[in-house]
Structure 1
Amino acid sequence: MNAKTPVTVLTGFLGSGKTSLLKRVLASPGMADTAVIINEAGDMGLDHLLVEAVDEQVLEMPSGCLCCLRRLDIVTTVRSLIERRDRGEIRAFSRIVIETSGLADPAPILYTLAADPMLGHVLSFRAVVTLVDAVAGANTLARHPEAASQVAVADRILITKTDLASPDPALLSAIDGLNAWADRISLPGDHDPADLMFGTVPTIGKQRFVAQAVPAAMHTAKITTLSLVLAHPITRLEFAVALGALASRHGEDLLRVKGLMAFADRPDRIAVIHAVQHTIYRPDWLDGWPDGDTRSRLVFVVRDMAPAAITTHFAAAGPILWTPIDAGEAAHGPGRLVAA
């Protein structure tokens, strides 16, 4: 197989509904070419789904999906699955879902996958899909930093159990404070499992770009979202130096970076920027802006990091002065910065 294998990371706090969603995913004919990696200690009940144990680690589902019970580190597990697929030892698959435990921060998993040279050539990172419980989600986000991290790095947020309760305004406010760009979908609903897990996620659009004020309860997690708008383009080298230095020095706290950039030395195309902790992915390129906003902009999801840690690195990269927003823009909420 020459095409890269897309990977989605599925996460969500304990009780958010990952088990129910995965059962639906595994039973869907449209997901028959999927490999699912779950934690061995996870709470997912698989016995009724099993048809044949290929070996002690890989299980074959009725739909044709493969399920791998992770007993080794994530890189070893993914490498093994791909190598065995390519040798014809297990059923062929064309995409992978990695389900984290309910207490896991997904950022290290993203970093680990991206940092491995072999996997970087054969995998294509698609999305982080995070489940949030509509009933208990607000309290969970306020009390558990892991849950806040799961929301903060998400590309798509699935709000579950909306048949039991409408999402509380406090929950929606908390999600806004942690992640203003992700898709949001209510479950249950008539949604294609393949679209939920692997459907196209939005780039950073103008309509939701401005960072929201972080509710007081979220400060316990020490996670904030910082937005930058560039008034003037910079070169790819200046950008690489700035973001590279930031990732090198603060990688553990740099949970995620997303952005849209028009570089001074590549004005004909728009770069989609994506970074996780110490790892900066190769950009995807667009032929034009995805919305009416033609400014280069970045969103940083950080843990316990002052805005100055970001502005210092970018100011040192070249003739670009990064300054806080002025008083007239303060209504947009803390954390939004404008490059002058």
Structure 2
Amino acid sequence: MVQNPSDPVPVTVLTGYLGAGKTTLLNRILTENHGKKYAVVINEFGELGVDNDLVVDADEEVFEMNNGCICCTVRGDLIRILSGLMKRRDRFDGIIVETTGLADPAPVAQTFFVDEDVKRATKLDSIVTVVDAKHLAARLDDSKEAEEQIAFADLLILNKMDLVSEEEAQAVERRIRAINPYAEIRRATKSDVPVNEVLGRDSFSLERILDREPEFLSGEDEHEHDSEINSVSFEVSRPIDPEKFNSWMSDLLAAKGQDLLRTKGILAYPGDDRRFAFQAVHMIADGDFIGPWKEDDERRSKIVFIGRDLNRPVLRRGFEACQVPA
């Protein structure tokens, strides 16, 4: 059943720090058989877009905003995309906004209250924050954004439970509760939470947010990112030698893993018609084939690093050296 055009469109903001598992959850939502259609807005921090490639092929309309955080430089883009979606609101039941892992949810949520057109046509249904149980303690020590993402959440998905003990999980939950005692916490591995427990919750509480930030409805945004964190992106035209890439990446993560908050790439391997998706959080890496290249794709491999003290020339040379010989 598609959304009644006269009703405000429910919007779910999906947030969480870099590598927590947001895209995994989004893919679950888009592939499960729930009978609804969603428009998806994806925001990335960097010059090249990779997250859009990591989202499974689906009927949903996917809009991508690059090279800026949704809570900063591209907030106007979000308003424009939402306004455009309202012109064809009869084609979907709801909207999902996946923020970059560096987003403060406050100005994102503000958009649905301070812009009159958006306020009239949409309804902020809930803020869902995915939390990395393995790395949350470190993130809370060095990232204001990680704390804000928890504070604004209506639902907290404590993800990657397979990487922590019960004692560690309880310690993480205590830290979460100290920041946000109201949100529901759901434990998960690979973001395996039922879709009906994520969407359509109608759980966003403006009153609770105003208690935390009385200036919330002023529309003023003083958000600034940690100036030490930046993003570098590279793209190459020749196929990637998987052995060279694995060797280079293993050495790189071993040496610089603490500074590499997030690494993600889409790789073209020689003689293979499938796209290979590589992802890493600090020194924990994973990868798999995610489907075929489209016929009109140039099969260019690209990789994005988000972290501290990134040496662009060294990273570029390393990635370029993974190509097969010309």
TM-score normalized by structure 1? Answer: 0.53
**Residue 56 of structure 2: aligned partner:** 49
Q: 1:29 to 1:168 in 2, by over 3 A?
A: closer
- Match status 1:133 vs 2:132: yes
**Structure 1 counterpart of 2:37, which letter?**
D
Q: 1:202 to 1:111 in 2, by over 3 A?
A: closer
Deviations along 1:242-294, one digit per CA (max 9) or x if unpaired, are x9xxxxxxxxxxx92369xxxxxxxxxxxxxx9771259xxxxxxxxxxxxxx
Q: 1:96 to 1:17 in 2, by over 3 A?
A: same
- Match status 1:147 vs 2:146: yes
**Residue 114 of structure 2: aligned partner:** 115
Q: 1:275 to 1:20 in 2, by over 3 A?
A: farther
Q: 1:187 to 1:258 in 2, by over 3 A?
A: farther
- Match status 1:14 vs 2:18: yes
Deviations along 1:150-178, one digit per CA (max 9) or x if unpaired, are 00111110000112224434322221111
**Residue 277 of structure 1: aligned partner:** 216
- Mapping 1:1-340, distance limit 5 Å: 1-30=5-34, 32-40=36-44, 41=46, 43-44=50-51, 46=53, 49-50=56-57, 61=58, 64-70=59-65, 73-83=77-87, 85-86=88-89, 92-166=91-165, 167-188=168-189, 191-201=193-203, 256-257=209-210, 277-278=216-217
**Structure 2 counterpart of 1:99, which letter?**
E
C-alpha displacement of 1:47: 6.2
Q: Distance in 2 between matches of 1:20 and 1:116?
A: 30
**Structure 2 counterpart of 1:49, which letter?**
V
Q: Which has the higher contact order (CA 8 A, sep 6+)?
A: 2
1:146 is paired with a residue of what secondary structure? helix
Q: 1:43 to 1:102 in 2, by over 3 A?
A: farther
Q: 1:13 to 1:35 in 2, by over 3 A?
A: same
Q: 1:108 to 1:11 in 2, by over 3 A?
A: same
Q: Distance in 2 between matches of 1:139 and 1:277?
A: 28
1:111 is paired with a residue of what secondary structure? helix
Deviations along 1:93-132, one digit per CA (max 9) or x if unpaired, are 1201111100110100111221111111111111110011
C-alpha RMSD of the superposition: 3.0
C-alpha displacement of 1:37: 0.4
C-alpha displacement of 1:199: 2.5
Q: Which runs of 5+ in 1 are unaligned?
A: 51-60, 205-242, 244-254, 260-273, 281-302, 304-340
Q: Distance in 2 between matches of 1:31 and 1:101?
A: 27
Q: Distance in 2 between matches of 1:172 and 1:143?
A: 18
Q: 1:48 to 1:34 in 2, by over 3 A?
A: closer
Is the 1:148–1:178 Cα contact (8 Å) retained in structure 2?
A: yes
C-alpha displacement of 1:44: 2.1
Q: Distance in 1 between matches of 2:22 and 2:41?
A: 13
Q: Distance in 2 between matches of 1:110 and 1:48?
A: 23
1:198 is paired with a residue of what secondary structure? coil
Deviations along 1:27-65, one digit per CA (max 9) or x if unpaired, are 122164111100155642536733xxxxxxxxxx2xx32
Is the 2:131–2:159 Cα contact (8 Å) retained in structure 1?
A: yes
2:162 is paired with a residue of what secondary structure? coil
TM-score normalized by structure 2? Answer: 0.55
Is the 1:31–1:193 Cα contact (8 Å) retained in structure 2?
A: no
2:84 is paired with a residue of what secondary structure? helix
Is the 2:112–2:123 Cα contact (8 Å) retained in structure 1?
A: no
Q: 1:74 to 1:160 in 2, by over 3 A?
A: same
Q: How many percent of aligned residue pairs carry the same amino acid?
A: 30
Is the 2:124–2:204 Cα contact (8 Å) retained in structure 1?
A: no
